[in-house]
Structure 1
Amino acid sequence: MRDIWEAMRAATDYRVGIGRAGDSMTTDALLDLREAQARARDAVHLPLDVDALARQLAETGAAEPVVVRSRAASRAEYLRRPDRGRELATGIPRRPRPDADAQQMPRLGIVVADGLSTAAVSHHGAPMVRALTEELAGDFRIEPVVIAVQARVAIGDEIGAALGLDEVIVLIGERPGLSVSDSLGAYLTHHPKPGTRDSQRNCVSNIRPGGLGYAPAAATLGSLARGALVLGRSGVDLKDTGPAVGAPGRPALSDSGDPGR
């Protein structure tokens, strides 16, 4: 007999039409669910291998990253106290002033933060940095990458303000689920500073093979970043309107995502 759910299962990572055995699901489905739960727990609790991530970034041609830590001293504290993940434990080293030509370009920083899925950052952080660099290098002076440990989205505000950035993009591991445990999110903030509201950011989520690819995600973020320069702000007034985003006289206008990480 033909499985009527086959086509739908092929189109989504969600569990649909898994069947049942009596009052429960089938043994295969139950074992698959338990494996997914284990992957999700590991994604949250396993520490980020900073050295491995730095090596991956070096392979993309990026400059040596700066490593910072939040005020959350442990993973357990990070999960219990979201506020401490939004603040730096110490200051961030200041970079030498750019030369005169580089000063004419807006400055953009990329922060790679572990967030709630270290697996997402380990798998997708470096290739996403490469895609963003290729997309934005002609329009922005891109600063060396900052790796932030035990970090949440808002830590990018303090980093951006300390470095005097015009815009910051925070790449962060999204909250894992039972279908996907390594999804990467990206949050753009124009003129970042402590106290920035969530409504003043834009989010591009589900970045991963099988979700939103690196190049399309970078293109969307590039459109939003250029649009924010025209509009003078990011957030709820900034929308992703496709290739025309940020064109002269036509500011980009995208809903900010949920940065509750």
Structure 2
Amino acid sequence: MSSPSVPNRPTLDLRALTPARVALGRSGASLPTRPLLDFTLDHARARDAVHAAFDAERMIAELAGFGVPILATRSRAADRGDYLRRPDLGRQLEPTCAEHLAACAADAGRLAIVIGDGLSPTAVHAHAVGLLRALLPMLAEAAPVAIGHIIVASGSRVALGDEIGAILGSCMVVMLIGERPGLSAPDSLGAYLTFAPRPGRTDAERNCVSNIHRAGLSYGEAAFKIAWLVRAGLSRGVTGVALKDESGDLPARIGTALPE
């Protein structure tokens, strides 16, 4: 018995469904000029995002209206070049900054929110404030989650949040950080959640909500997932592989659209 015929859909249709490089065509044995120029432009944007300077002062000014104490800190990476060559330095607080945070530990809350530049300061500048604007009201709903501080961390890798959270005595850290740029998304923001943060935590002990950008998760969608994971993580005393994201089982929230 023959199987029913399947309509022949051209590969070109896939281009309407994904930003991936498919159905680019060819010119002889090479790419046509337009896809080659597009690739070169996207590669340049990704490189620019990695090497962009992080404007911590601007970030602090934009966060001032949220009504949460804000602290500035930095890693042991002396500059951007140092940060890229020595990932280990981006995971350790600069000693005087560690002392400053320790002096604020008495005011610690259940949750610390760290904003780090990561591998794409461009993503942090574009999306961190908008995401927080959607997230903080969700954390303030029924059974509010107490937030001790928002920390702006320069030269930051994800694990820097572990030391910050341990010094502040926070039960959980949410790290908002620029993700490694891709050729289709140089400004993707990620959120990493770690319960009982301390140096030495592994990635298996974290939850991640990633791909927060114009073609990915909206602020509302990402904030809903993060808020669910925060509450579930605090309630169960775990994050990482022991905490499955079940936020999709709840009624969907209307996503906050990202700016064009």
Q: Same fold (TM over 0.5)?
A: yes
* Structure-1 residue corresponding to 2:136: 133
Instruction: Provide the residue aligned with 1:256 in structure 2.
Output: none
Between the aligned partners of 2:11 and 2:113, the Cα distance in structure 1 is 42
Moved more, 154-163 or 229-238: 229-238
Matched letter for residue 81 of structure 1? R
Asked if 1:28 corresponds to 2:34, the answer is yes
1:17 is aligned, of 16, 19, 23, to 23
1:169 aligned partner: 174
- Report the CA distance shift for 1:232/1:123 in structure 2 as closer, same or farther (over 3 A): same
Match of 1:46 among 36, 49, 52: 52
Cα distance in 1 for partners of 2:225, 2:112 equals 17
Cα RMSD after superposing both structures: 1.9
User: What corresponds to 1:95 in structure 2?
Assistant: 104
Identity rate, percent? 47
* 8 A contact 2:112–2:173 mirrored in 1: yes
Give CA-to-partner distance per residue, 1:143-179, whole Å, 9 cap, x none. 2311111110010011101111111100011011111
2:153 is aligned to: 148
Q: Structure 2 unaligned runs (5+)?
A: 1-8, 251-260
Please tell me whether Structure 1 or Structure 2 has the larger radius of gyration of its CA atoms.
Answer: 2
Amino acid at match of 2:114: V
1:214 pairs, out of 206, 213, 219, with: 219
| Runs of 4+ off more than 6 Å | none
| 1:57 and 2:63 aligned | yes
- Taking the aligned partners of 2:105 and 2:90, their CA distance within structure 1 comes to 27
TM-score normalised to structure 2 length: 0.85
Give the AA of the match of 2:19: D
The code of the aligned residue for 1:32 comes to D
Letter in 1 for 2:135: L
- Partners of 2:228 and 2:240 in 1: how far apart? 13
State whether residues 54 and 64 of structure 1, in contact with CA within 8 Å, keep that contact through their aligned partners in structure 2: no
Listed as ranges, the matches of 1:177-188 within 5 Å are 177-188=182-193
1:21-59 CA-to-partner distances (Å, cap 9, x unmatched) read: 111111111111110011000000111111222232235
Q: Whole-Å Cα distance in 2 between the matches of residues 16 and 62 of structure 1? A: 46
Displacement after TM superposition at 1:193 (Å): 1.0
Report the counterpart of residue 3 of structure 2 in structure 1.
none
3-state secondary structure, aligned to 1:53: helix
State whether residues 62 and 145 of structure 1, in contact with CA within 8 Å, keep that contact through their aligned partners in structure 2: no
Aligned length, in residue pairs: 236
Give the Cα separation in 2 of the matches to 1:89 and 1:127.
Answer: 28
Match of 1:7 among 5, 9, 13: 13
Is 1:116 the equivalent of 2:124? Answer: no
Q: How does 1:70-89 map to 2 (within 5 A)?
A: 70-89=75-94
